[in-house]
Amino acid sequence: MKKRKLSNQFLRNFLVIFLLAILDTVLALMLLSFASRLIAGSLTKNRYPASAIIKDDYKQIDASAVVQNGGGVQVVDREYRLVYSKGLDTIGKDKLTAEEFTVFLTESKSKPYHYDIVYNPKGGFWLIVTFPTSIRLDFALVYNKEAAAGDFTRAGLAIAFVVLCYLLILALTAFIYSRITAASITVPLKKLCDGTRLLREGDYSARVDLRLKNEFAELQNTFNDMAARIEHEVSMRKKSEEDRRRLILDISHDLKNPMTSIQGYAELLMKKAGMTKQERIEHVEIILNNSKRANQLLTELFELSQLDSPEFLLKPVKTDICEYIRQICAELVPQFEREGFKYEFDIPEEGVFAILDTDRFSRIIQNLANNAMRYNPKGTLVSVRLNVQNNQAVIDFSDNGIGILAHLAESIFKPFVRVDDSRNSKTGGSGLGLSIAKKIAEAHGGDLTLHPDKNKGSTFRITIPTI
């Protein structure tokens, strides 16, 4: 299907307007002529013509009606002397030369006055009746077939030239205006099309700046919002894909080590003859520890997938969170003492109630405690404080240990992100504990965030809505 340009459509529309403008001009001239004839009898200049008041003796002329209506009556004799004057006088002299009187007669139509001039041969004078002109349109088309052929041809050519110039000016105006009007629409549309094409080709940073304040500005804002949203979605999708790939690599790495160790020691037990009982026990113990590590990783992966599932549901109950945290801290004391850690707890005595799944929520504190004991040296002080702020229970789990590196602060809650980048199995866990803890906090309508200490250590803050 052949494309129809918008600019050509505008040109066709303005061509119609051009033809209508010609028709309107003709109709306007016809109506103007009709209106002129319609009001001619009511105009003052036509109610008091010179022929109606002229007398053979100019002294008997009654000029009162003319004067009362703002006009004037003058009489000029054969000697071009002004012998009679009443009311409005545009001659301004008592005596004229023949040349001056001729100029007055010939130029009377160019002045802003209407002159009705009659000559009385019996009295030998000219009667001039003058009225101020309201509006004068001196266009008239007169045709006399007795005129010289050359004059008629030249007059016809002049009229045709004027009409042609008028039509050309009108057509040029319509054409220029159609192009300007079309450009005011096609230029913004072209910019929007260019922006859309860039989006289609994968340039999601494309934006449109029309610098307009009409409906196109709303379309521009809608387009830019859409482009920004697409860019954000694509960025998030790329990030999600990168996270998925990294997750698969991390899972493979963390499972490969224990499984390789299990396989190696199992083959050693089968093939090595003359192995002592103590050696067998050591090898079996290594196999057991690696199988436990692999099982823990798979268990935490299953728990993480459960938390991400839309079918995951908590089993919440109304709980005194102060008493509940005191119980959890009491359970942590033997672990802290066994590992050589110091501890302090600051929990209010009064009751603060929240809706908690007590089995799930305890994982948050336990995971934070495990991380603190795993990555910090002996003698590190671990503190747990609880207070209420803005209808939220705020639990700060802090330590004065090695802290968390700045480049890990934003990604520490992602799966398989660990404080030790080497992913050494002897110094850390699976890297899933904080991710699980954060999802449990969010499932309770709260959050788990990291507040690194610039001096030493770090603080994990748990927020939970109270009731």
Q: Counting Cβ atoms within 10 Å, is residue 425 exposed (0-12), middle (13-18) or buried (19+)?
A: middle
Beta bridge partners of 449: 461
Write out the CATH class of domain 216-306: mainly alpha
What pLDDT does 351 receive?
Answer: 87
Q: How many Cα atoms within 13 Å fall on the side-chain side of residue 9? A: 8
- CA-nearest of 225, 184, 232 to 208 is 225
What pLDDT does 316 receive?
Answer: 87
Residue 212 CB neighbours (<10 A)? 14
pTM: 0.46
> 108-146: per-residue pLDDT in tens?
888 889 999 999 999 999 999 999 987 766 656 666 777
Residue 19 CB neighbours (<10 A)? 13
* Rounded distance between C-alpha atoms, residue 355 and residue 319, angstroms: 6
Residues of the chain with pLDDT under 50: 1-3, 421-423, 425, 427
- CA-nearest of 287, 292, 270, 269 to 279 is 269
> 364-377: per-residue pLDDT in tens?
999 899 889 988 89
The residue length of the chain stands at: 467
Helix ranges restricted to H, 54-120: 64-68, 98-106
* Rounded distance between C-alpha atoms, residue 363 and residue 369, angstroms: 10
* Rounded distance between C-alpha atoms, residue 174 and residue 67, angstroms: 50
Superfamily of domain 313-465: Histidine kinase-like ATPase, C-terminal domain (3.30.565.10)
The token duo for 337 is 């003492």
Domain edges within the chain: 6-39+140-187, 50-132, 216-306, 313-465
Residue 440 CB neighbours (<10 A)? 22
The token duo for 278 is 């103590």
